[in-house]
Amino acid sequence: MMSMRLGILGTLAVLPTFAQVPNVSLPQDPSEKIARRQLLPIRDKREYTGGTADSTNWSGYVVTGSAFTSAKASWIVPSAVCKGVSGEQYAAFWVGLDGYSSGTVEQTGTLSDCVGPFPVYYAWYEFYPNPMYEVTSLQIAPGNVMSASVVYNGSEFTVTITNVSTGKTYSTSSTVTGAARSSAEWITEAPCCTSSGGILPLSDFGTVDFGADYTSQAGTNYATDGSHSGTIASFGAANVEQIAKVASSTSPQTSTCSILSSDGTSFTCTWAP
């Protein structure tokens, strides 16, 4: 049923502002609902020598290659600091395939949002350019250890997200037309879109911890492509990009990430106003 619904939605034009998606009555899995926002491929990418890059929506790590079949990650859900916030702010933490040099993204993760002064936490998945879905059956709280993966089996992608702290998990699958499978990512993102189509403000998440050093999860922050399988660092300097989020007019907050630890999987990203 999931693949059918996403296939139908894939025929709709996804416009810059999520509110412009047509109001279509479709079968609905009671454990999920369409989100009011959307996550995007990397925006305004600028690459530098030494394996670094920046963008207006992503921070984290990317490995490039070809024919990727899996990416796995773990992280600790950070608290959203919402005191004094008016309006809404968002911060997504995810693992995925594609979106660095291609037009689709297959991804799953958590969000630590501010709805005014009130923090909100939830799990989600997205087969971009199809809509993002909140996973309402998976309860999320600050400090929870999360584990997630995206796996391609030759015909469709399966996203799985597990709250290790509660033992609850969710998984769903879909085909994705035009998926290049040219990159794998471990990302902190400011979602889309403001009323003018810009990137949304990034909520104050403090610091988020990714990888085995912080989560004690085995086989985490790994990826597999057509020629290699291993940690982020094992893909080699020529194929690893460390990304920083820079300010934009609609999302002035920034996020920078540490170098990888000695285990090749672990890093932190830190918010700044």
The model's pLDDT over 108-138, given as tens digits with 9 standing for 90+, comes to 999 999 999 999 999 999 999 999 999 999 9
Q: What per-residue confidence (pLDDT) applies to 22?
A: 33
**pLDDT tops 60 at residue 92:** yes
The least confident of 16-30, 152-166, 259-273 is 16-30
Nearest to 221 by CA among 93, 41, 51, 95: 95
Domain 2-13+37-272: give its CATH superfamily: Peptidase G1 (2.60.120.700)
- The two three-digit tokens of residue 180, written as one number: 């290049």
Over the chain, what is the mean pLDDT? 91
Strand 132-135 vs strand 145-152: parallel, antiparallel, or unpaired?
A: unpaired
Q: By the 8 A CB rule, do 172 and 223 touch?
A: no
Number of alpha carbons in the 13 Å side-chain half-sphere of residue 230: 11
pLDDT tens across 173-229, in order?
999 999 999 999 999 999 999 988 899 999 999 999 999 999 999 999 999 999 999
Q: What per-residue confidence (pLDDT) applies to 31?
A: 83
What are the residue ranges of helices labelled H in the chain?
2-9, 212-215
List CB contacts of 50: < 8 A, sequence separation 6 or more.
none
DSSP state of 90: B
**Model confidence band, residue 28 (pLDDT cutoffs 50, 70, 90):** low
Q: What is the pTM of this model?
A: 0.89
Output helix, strand, coil percentages for the chain, rounded to the nearest 5.
10, 45, 50
Higher pLDDT pick, 248 / 31 = 248
**Model confidence band, residue 18 (pLDDT cutoffs 50, 70, 90):** very low
Nearest to 162 by CA among 265, 74, 69: 74
List CB contacts of 262: < 8 A, sequence separation 6 or more.
none
Q: What per-residue confidence (pLDDT) applies to 196?
A: 84
Q: By the 8 A CB rule, do 251 and 57 touch?
A: yes
Nearest to 247 by CA among 55, 37, 39: 55
Residues, the chain: 273
Average pLDDT over residues 75-90: 97
**pLDDT tops 80 at residue 30:** no
Q: What per-residue confidence (pLDDT) applies to 3?
A: 41
- The two three-digit tokens of residue 167, written as one number: 């033992």
Higher pLDDT pick, 1 / 249 = 249
DSSP state of 200: P
The least confident of 14-18, 86-90, 124-128 is 14-18
**pLDDT tops 90 at residue 41:** yes
